[in-house]
Amino acid sequence: MSSGALVGVEWLLERVGGEGVVVLDASVGAHRRKGPWIPGALVFDIDGEMSDGGSAVPHTMLGEEQFGERVRELGIRAGDQVVVYDAAGIYSSARAWWMLRAAGFERVAVLDGGLPAWVAAGGPTSAEPGEVPEREGDFAARLAPGAFLGLEDVREALDGASGVRVLDARSRGRFAGTEPEPRAGLRGGHMPGAVNLPFGELQDGEGRMLPAAALRERFDALAPGDGRLVVSCGSGVTACVLALGAELAGHGERVSVYDGSWSEWGLEGTGTPVVTGKV
């Protein structure tokens, strides 16, 4: 199964290791670099070199020149078919997909169900990641305007920009401020006017994305019309699961990712307004 932005395990089993097919492991956190790996998979290190380490908030997108350089260092060429996955199902792989798409790389898809689905289907695994090929990549990154938004952009959207809806991918408890934030120094709660759509609610119980019709129902219920969608989360990672869901639902052109997400908005002392309580 393939729907452009999403490919199934069966699809990849037939093509893994083939010419021009590049598999990237975009796992983060506890799963990072611990394996196992899909054979030949290269590490797309969102916790490390694929994010801006000089930023005050985690997982900040690199500038286009530096991002393009990092992608070329993986030997990726503009004509390749890239498939990204992670060890949690679909969690951080969507972030890698969005980063590449936002930088102008169109032939990239997320592996539905990620590594757990691959293993469950009997797919082979390796104890080590693949070796970066000697060939030189040729991808030149060009970031699409509006793909990533900063704090002031989101402030303006929340101040009444016509048709803009902010969707927050965090858990319902974190959104309401009844659960603690996993990062120190962050207030609980959410942005005024934001709507909660936990990223896991766009997936089945096995980490696969829901069918397109079901995704459309969720987006149409929370963000009717054709206005702009701004997606947010804790640090800009699972917000991209919402971006993927919107793409599969036919609303991909409407989406921007708030890159700093709650790691920026929720910081103590920023003066940004926060709403708490049951929603």
Quote the CATH superfamily of domain 6-120.
Rhodanese-like domain (3.40.250.10)
With a cut of 50, say whether residue 59 has pLDDT above it: yes
* CA torsion through residues 38, 78, 139, 91, sign: negative
Please tell me the CATH code under which domain 148-265 is placed. 3.40.250.10
Percent of the chain scoring above 70 in pLDDT: 97
Provide the Cα torsion 252, 55, 175, 167; round to 10°: -20
**Could you give the residue numbers annotated as active site?**
233
Give the global pTM.
0.96
pLDDT of residue 157: 82
Q: Do residues 209 and 249 lie in contact, with contact meaning Cβ atoms separated by under 8 Å? A: no
Structure tokens at 103: 């930088």
Structure tokens at 203: 């997936």
Instruction: Kindly state the average pLDDT of the residues 39-68.
Output: 96
With a cut of 90, say whether residue 243 has pLDDT above it: yes
pLDDT of residue 1: 37
β-bridge mates for residue 230, sequence order? 166, 256
β-bridge mates for residue 11, sequence order? none
Numbered ranges of CATH 3.40.250.10 in the chain: 6-120, 148-265
